């Protein structure tokens, strides 16, 4: 079948899809880590590949930048292509002085400046959170690999260039670790579909020190995070998805 944004068939994607924002990063992950990767989607240049990792069928496909783009691709993967787990593997800007360049952040929760929750008819404020099983497994893998990481809340921002240079200070006061632009939407889509999601971000910039990775490092220099995500995908393969049977799921 095909959707407006994904031209693929049922079964073309693995149970778990890794989602970087950048299509070039998707290509890099597929060619570097997957065995026999096959291009299964290239609508609008948003490259999606499926191969195997340690014998497990895994896919990687770009999400594009921002919450509207993430919402489209994660919604279609969850609801039309049989995907149970999506892991965002992206970059983020640190707002905590405890984070160093290339540290990994596991997004336990995602605050947001977006009104994207209005699309779900929510009267109030929804709290987008990661799937605990995925989070626990990913953290255990990072510990085993002796990587430098933190677990906590991040902020998914709707605006990269803001006229107010201090707009993020209230979030920092509340303990936010880093800023990015997709996770809140991913977690909401997963919750609505009764599926699982987790974001792993590598620190590519620091609003504290002013440090920044160049575009080439952002594309291929995030290998520790990618290994954690792939190893997590292997673990999740044997864990059945628990649907929220009491909630009637209807396509939005």
Catalytic residue among 21, 51, 90, 93: 21
**What distances in angstroms separate CA 90 from CA 207, 229, 238, 250, one per listed residue?**
17, 11, 25, 30
Tokens of 35: 């065995």
Catalytic residue among 14, 22, 25, 66: 25
In terms of Cα–Cα distance, which of 28, 49, 64, 96 is closest to 181?
64
Looking at every residue in the chain, the average pLDDT score rounds to 90
Does the annotation count 51 as an active-site position?
no
Does the annotation count 44 as an active-site position?
yes
What pLDDT score does 241 carry?
A: 85
Does the annotation count 102 as an active-site position?
no
Does the annotation count 71 as an active-site position?
no
pLDDT grade for 13, boundaries at 50, 70 and 90: very high
Does the annotation count 12 as an active-site position?
no
Residue 67 has pLDDT above 50, yes or no: yes
Lowest-confidence range among 2-16, 28-42, 190-204? Answer: 2-16
Residue 228 has pLDDT above 90, yes or no: yes
Residues 6 or more apart whose CB falls under 8 angstroms from that of 216 comprise: none
pTM of the model: 0.91
* Contact present, 62 and 44 (Cβ < 8 Å): no
Catalytic residue among 91, 114, 156, 204: 91
């Amino acid at each position: 079948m095909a959707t407006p944004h994904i031209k693929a068939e049922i079964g073309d994607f693995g149970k778990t899809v890794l989602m970087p924002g950048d299509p070039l990063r998707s290509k890099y992950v597929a060619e570097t880590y997957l065995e026999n990767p096959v291009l299964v989607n290239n609508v609008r240049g948003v490259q999606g590949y499926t191969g195997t990792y340690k014998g497990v069928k895994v896919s990687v496909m770009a999400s594009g930048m921002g919450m509207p783009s993430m919402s489209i691709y994660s919604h279609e993967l969850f609801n039309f292509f049989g995907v149970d787990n999506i892991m965002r593997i992206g970059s983020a800007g640190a707002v905590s002085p405890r984070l160093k360049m290339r540290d990994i952040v596991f997004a336990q929760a995602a605050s947001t400046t977006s009104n994207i929750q209005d699309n779900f008819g929510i009267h109030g404020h929804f709290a987008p959170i990661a799937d605990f099983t995925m989070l626990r497994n990913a953290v255990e893998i990072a510990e085993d690999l002796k990587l430098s990481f933190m677990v906590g809340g991040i902020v998914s921002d709707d605006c990269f260039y803001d006229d107010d240079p201090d707009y993020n200070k209230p979030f920092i006061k509340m303990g936010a670790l880093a800023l990015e632009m997709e996770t809140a939407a991913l977690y909401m889509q997963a919750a609505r579909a009764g599926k699982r999601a987790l974001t792993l971000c590598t620190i590519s910039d620091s609003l504290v020190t002013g440090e920044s990775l160049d575009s080439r490092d952002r594309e291929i220099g995030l290998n520790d995070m990618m290994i954690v995500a792939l190893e997590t995908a292997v673990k999740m393969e044997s864990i059945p998805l628990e649907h929220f049977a009491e909630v009637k799921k209807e396509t939005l």
